[in-house]
């Protein structure tokens, strides 16, 4: 039998806040974290808006040498992991180090570092690069540095499955605990990809919103006037523990991570198939894995990117899985406020599901001013809503046809 896996700690930095409390407050208030790009001069770009971190002081979490040596996606992971471990009141030491692991996903890794290295190579004169140049860009170094910083000697990995990376990491981590390979896992997703290359690349795909004059209105999932996603940055880290281990040390338990579904569309590099059959299968697999009936789900944190096809096909997939019960579901896209954190999205949105269960509040989808007639579920428009959520799904879908879904449920002893 699988061992039960519970959530005992949460940590995040993201466009709405640099800790869980600030983030949750802003989210439930329906605030937008989207604004003009300040990371670089975007005046000549088609898209000039993003969800950037605000007032984040990295020197609270790394020293000046580390600040020069680490890409931001690593720093965001270190900050979020530190907060998650503190929230869990958990110290890693001789007694548990070998039974504590780390899996942190990232869709792109250190792309901003790679761009800076390319610029340095093009300067006249001898090429002088730091010996830390390559390690600062490797996607697995977020997990690596978290492991080193906190002394976690158990299983370590990095999922690189585009926008599904954070969810994929949490799913793999839950199975690692459930199957007995670790008792504690530090897991989630991180991304810091607001860079000229990334923004230009997604713009070339016509994937980004160009609502530059009203950034806070740009991300509008399920609205008929949606015109693309808004890129964001940040990290979400959760502490996963085996149930008896958590109970023995008297840990606060936020929720149980009970199910995980992972499928492939086998269809297209970037576009979902009509009806999103792969997404539907991943939701069904998560339900099956958890032993939860569709009627028990009260909330779905949708992938909801604010792109025309994704929002429509995700709606169709939800209807296919839940049938008549889909009318009773609360479905919201918090990307309407944070933007799309790419590989960091799954970690952050898992925190949303856990908090919704623990607090009895479902955050809204903002900017849903003119609902798409074909997107006709209850997307919790504009204002958060109180609801006793017994079980929730977190949907994330990535380039390459990856569909990853987590199922969280209220903890019952």
List of domains in the chain:
5-409 (3.40.47.10)
How confident is the model over 296-315, as pLDDT tens digits? 999 999 999 999 999 999 99
Which residues lie closer than 8 Å to 244 by C-beta, 6 or more apart?
Answer: 3
Range from 121-130, 135-144, 342-351 carrying the lowest mean pLDDT: 121-130
Range from 3-7, 121-125, 337-341, 348-352 carrying the lowest mean pLDDT: 121-125
How confident is the model over 85-124, as pLDDT tens digits? 999 999 999 999 999 999 999 999 999 999 999 988 888 8
- Is the pLDDT higher at 180 or at 271? 180
Distance CA 20, CA 29 (A): 14
Asked if the model's pLDDT at residue 210 lies above 80, the reply is yes
Asked if the model's pLDDT at residue 66 lies above 90, the reply is yes
What does the pLDDT read at residue 129? 84
What is the set of active-site residues? Answer: 163, 303, 340
Task: Assess contact for 337 and 304: CB atoms under 8 A.
Answer: no
Distance CA 101, CA 175 (A): 12
Under DSSP, the state recorded for 4 is: P
Q: If phi over 0 gives left and psi between -120 and 50 gives alpha, with beta otherwise, what is residue 228?
A: left
What does the pLDDT read at residue 124? 81
Task: Assess contact for 255 and 410: CB atoms under 8 A.
Answer: yes
For residue 305, the number of C-alpha atoms closer than 13 Å in the C-beta half-sphere is 30
Average pLDDT, the chain: 97
Which residues lie closer than 8 Å to 8 by C-beta, 6 or more apart?
Answer: 87, 88, 90, 239, 240, 241, 246, 251, 252, 253, 254
The predicted model gives 230-248 an average pLDDT of: 98
Structure-block tokens of residue 112: 């901003």
What does the pLDDT read at residue 275? 87
Task: State residue 187 phi and psi, 5-degree precision.
Answer: -145, 155
Instruction: Give the residue from 48, 143, 100 showing the smallest Cα distance to 347.
Output: 143
Under DSSP, the state recorded for 180 is: T
How confident is the model over 346-405, as pLDDT tens digits? 999 999 999 999 999 999 999 999 999 999 999 999 999 999 999 999 999 999 999 999
In the chain the first and final C-alpha atoms are separated, in Å, by 17
């Amino acid at each position: 039998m699988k061992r039960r896996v519970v959530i005992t700690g949460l940590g995040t930095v993201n466009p709405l806040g640099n800790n869980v409390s600030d983030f949750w407050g802003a989210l439930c208030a329906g605030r937008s974290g989207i604004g003009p790009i300040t990371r670089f001069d975007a005046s000549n770009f088609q898209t000039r808006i993003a969800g950037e971190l605000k007032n984040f002081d990295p020197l609270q979490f790394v020293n000046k040498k580390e600040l020069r040596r680490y890409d931001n996606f690593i720093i965001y992971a270190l900050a979020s992991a530190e907060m998650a471990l503190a929230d869990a009141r958990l110290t890693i030491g001789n007694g548990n180090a070998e039974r504590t692991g780390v899996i942190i996903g990232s869709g792109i890794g250190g792309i901003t570092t790679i761009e800076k290295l390319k610029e340095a190579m093009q300067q006249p004169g001898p090429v002088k690069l730091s010996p830390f140049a390559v390690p600062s860009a490797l996607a697995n170094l977020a997990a690596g540095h978290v492991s080193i910083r906190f002394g976690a000697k158990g299983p370590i990995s990095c999922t690189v499955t585009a926008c599904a990376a954070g969810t994929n990491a949490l799913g793999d981590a839950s199975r690692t605990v459930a199957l007995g390979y670790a008792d504690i896992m530090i897991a989630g997703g991180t991304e810091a990809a607001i860079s000229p290359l990334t923004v230009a690349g997604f713009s070339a795909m016509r994937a980004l919103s160009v609502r530059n004059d009203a950034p806070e209105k740009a991300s509008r999932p399920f609205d008929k006037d949606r015109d693309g996603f808004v890129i964001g940055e940040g990290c979400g880290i959760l502490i996963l523990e085996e149930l008896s281990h958590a109970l023995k040390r008297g840990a606060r338990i936020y929720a149980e991570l009970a199910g995980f579904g992972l499928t492939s569309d086998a269809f297209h590099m970037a576009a979902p198939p009509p009806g999103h059959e792969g997404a539907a299968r991943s939701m069904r697999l998560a339900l099956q894995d958890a032993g939860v009936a569709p009627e028990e789900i009260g909330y779905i944190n949708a992938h909801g990117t604010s792109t025309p096809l994704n929002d429509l096909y995700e709606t169709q997939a939800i209807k296919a899985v839940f049938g008549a019960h889909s009318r009773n579901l609360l479905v919201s896209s918090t990307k309407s406020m944070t933007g799309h954190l790419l590989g960091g999205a799954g970690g952050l949105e898992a925190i949303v599901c856990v908090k919704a269960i623990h607090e009895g509040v479902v955050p809204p989808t903002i900017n849903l001013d003119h609902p798409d007639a074909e997107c006709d579920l209850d997307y919790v428009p504009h204002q958060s809503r109180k609801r006793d959520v017994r079980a929730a799904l977190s949907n994330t879908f990535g380039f390459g046809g990856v569909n990853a879904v987590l199922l969280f449920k209220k903890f019952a002893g």
